[in-house]
Amino acid sequence: MDILTTMITPYKVNGSIDFETAEKYVDWYYENGIDGIFAVCQSSEIFYLSLEERVELNRRVYNRAKSLSKDFLVVSSGHISDSFEEQVKELNAIYESGTDALILITNRLDINNEGDDVFIANAKRLIAELPKDAKLGLYECPLPYKRLVTPKILDWCLPTGRFYYMKDTCCDAAIIKERTEQLKGSNFKLLNANCQTLLESMRNGADGYCGIMCNFHPRLYAWLGKNYKSEKADLVQSVIGTFGFTEVGLPYPLTAKYHMNLCGINTQNIARNRKSNELTEYAKSCMRQMKLASDALERKLEEML
């Protein structure tokens, strides 16, 4: 199983990106046993970063990750534009800054939700402008709208031999099972972003996890990826599935940045997509409680091994 976190973007007091702290995050992810990072994604606040910032953030993350281990995976997105020409510019710039796979945001390939034929035509056109040796992936990014992948799109992707990763955000165990059956035997890996359906999806053939909750308790996800067939996995699933409801109702990514402080990485309470005062004492208390519980479960799992 591949367990990937989404990358969050730290800022300095003046509002500029704190690249040094971002590198400390990379170290923390690696030390906590996950397999890689999804860089310059929605969690990174890509819609609020300039292209220059996205490229430099990706470069720093990739270089730091590879300095730790050549096997520490970094996949990268960062294309947010409506225009085809700008998307080509964005993706090529990200690729040149270093990545193991370029991840295409599905709603950028069908901006007006016109259907699969439009999606496929746009994808063909875009891929023709990208490096021929670039591995590709898909990301069902929720913003500005969630464009789900269909069986027809997957049927088109498979024979190209270009697609290796998909961040699945459908949050539907039945659909995920159908997708894994369609992808079976290929190099195209499905990574579930939804923690509530994670264990079921892995037991049904999914290839792992790629989501925001690895910013809070990556060791639990790393353990689950290795032990998903174990009876104890059901307990871990019930815990992370419950924790996962903090994704809504609390001011992420500020909550993740606050959690980094709890883990000893000094991080400013600043985001470009949230107001700092949204991180209330209530939200901080929820994060402290979650950390206390997840730390206790991690210790329990270590005792069991």
Per-residue confidence (pLDDT) for residue 239, from 0 to 100: 97
d(CA 261, CA 132): 41
d(CA 170, CA 78): 21
Topology of the domain covering 2-218: TIM Barrel (3.20.20)
d(CA 107, CA 146): 7
8, two tokens: 């969050």
d(CA 195, CA 213): 8
Residue in the structure block whose two tokens are 């059956």: 181
pLDDT digits (tens, 9 = 90+) for 36-82: 999 999 999 999 999 999 999 999 999 999 999 999 999 999 889 99
Residue in the structure block whose two tokens are 């999806």: 201
d(CA 128, CA 234): 44
Per-residue pLDDT for 296 more than 60? yes
Q: How confident is the model at residue 304 (pLDDT cuts 50, 70, 90)?
A: low
Report the predicted TM-score, pTM, of the whole model to 2 decimal places. 0.96
Per-residue pLDDT for 196 more than 90? yes
Q: Which of 134, 243, 148 is nearest to 190 (CA)?
A: 148
Q: What is the mean pLDDT of the chain?
A: 97
* Phi, psi for 213 (deg, rounded to 5): -75, -10
